[in-house]
Amino acid sequence: AQTVTQSQPEMSVQEAETVTLSCTYDTSESDYYLFWYKQPPSRQMILVIRQEAYKQQNATENRFSVNFQKAAKSFSLKISDSQLGDAAMYFCAYRSVGDDKIIFGKGTRLHILP
Amino acid sequence: DSGVTQTPKHLITATGQRVTLRCSPRSGDLSVYWYQQSLDQGLQFLIQYYNGEERAKGNILERFSAQQFPDLHSELNLSSLELGDSALYFCASSPGRLWETQYFGPGTRLLVL
């Protein structure tokens, strides 16, 4: 069974600094998607970034980028120029190409220090 | 705003009761997914419907059931409620099956007293 592990329950970063959230996953599949979702205090689940496993190039969305290491089964999220609005719970998630079910990690709570 | 709507936003009920949560997917989306977010279990997939038919089941209890109607809205029915059913229930939608991205609604917070 696939699993997603986020080893950092909480992290803090100074405003305008860069922070990296870690995620590892376990799967025997070769084709899959990886996601980072953000859940602010409003509880809305917001897709931050998506990575297709077959793409070697790391995905980037403005200040958010990932470091996808397929062999190591690692998928970290880097947030550059952190802003107060980035404070949220961040979930790493996995979905096999052949399956509609998304598997989520336990989340990392990110605090932004002014 | 993802375009997925869920009602009600909050629901408070007692043990043993039955409730219905409603979800309207984004316009044109045929797939609807239900997830449960609880403190102890985290975010877990419950069930998926595609164009009115059940397509996938996750860790959904027998006390829970869902359906998708011809207008594509979906309802999640929770019966014989227990304290442990208190959670945030999310609905998500996508245009089809095996779509790259699922778009989440704002969730319904259920509190069972």
Contacts of A100 in chain B (CB under 8 A): 31, 33, 48, 55-56, 97-98
Q: Hey, which residues 32-61 in chain A have their CB within 8 Å of chain B? A: 33, 35, 37, 42-47, 50, 52
Checking if the pLDDT of B26 tops 80, the result is yes
Burial B27-36 (b: 16+ CB within 10 A, else e): eebbbbbbbb
Checking if the pLDDT of B97 tops 80, the result is no
Quick one: chain B helix, strand, coil %, rounded to 5?
Answer: 5, 55, 45
Question: To the nearest whole angstrom, how far is the Cα of A17 from the nearest Cα of chain B?
Answer: 28
Residues 6 or more apart whose Cβ sits within 8 Å of residue B1? none
Contacts of A33 in chain B (CB under 8 A): 100
**Average pLDDT value for residue range A48-60:** 93
pLDDT confidence of residue B63: 97
Note whether A16 and A82 are within 8 A (CB). yes
The closest of A10, A6, A28, A8 to A93, measured between CA atoms, is A6
Give the integer Cα–Cα distance in Å for B1 and A58.
26
Contact B33 A99 (CB under 8 A): no
Contacts of B100 in chain A (CB under 8 A): 33, 50, 52
pLDDT confidence of residue B2: 84
Flag whether residue A109 sits within 8 Å of chain B, measured between CB atoms.
Answer: no
Note whether A53 and A114 are within 8 A (CB). no
Q: Which carries the bigger pLDDT value, residue A25 or residue A101?
A: A25
pLDDT confidence of residue B50: 94
Give the whole-number percent of chain B exceeding pLDDT 70: 100
pLDDT confidence of residue A99: 85
**Average pLDDT value for residue range A47-58:** 93
Give the integer Cα–Cα distance in Å for A104 and B54.
22
User: Length of chain B in residues, anyone?
Assistant: 113
Q: What are the φ/ψ torsions at residue B84 (nearest 5 degrees)?
A: -70, -10
pLDDT confidence of residue A1: 82
**Average pLDDT value for residue range B79-94:** 96
pLDDT confidence of residue B93: 95
Note whether B53 and B69 are within 8 A (CB). no
Q: What is the mean pLDDT of chain A?
A: 95
Contacts of A99 in chain B (CB under 8 A): 56, 98
Q: Is B84 helix (H, G, I), strand (E, B) or coil?
A: helix
Checking if the pLDDT of A98 tops 90, the result is no
Q: What is the DSSP letter of A27?
A: -
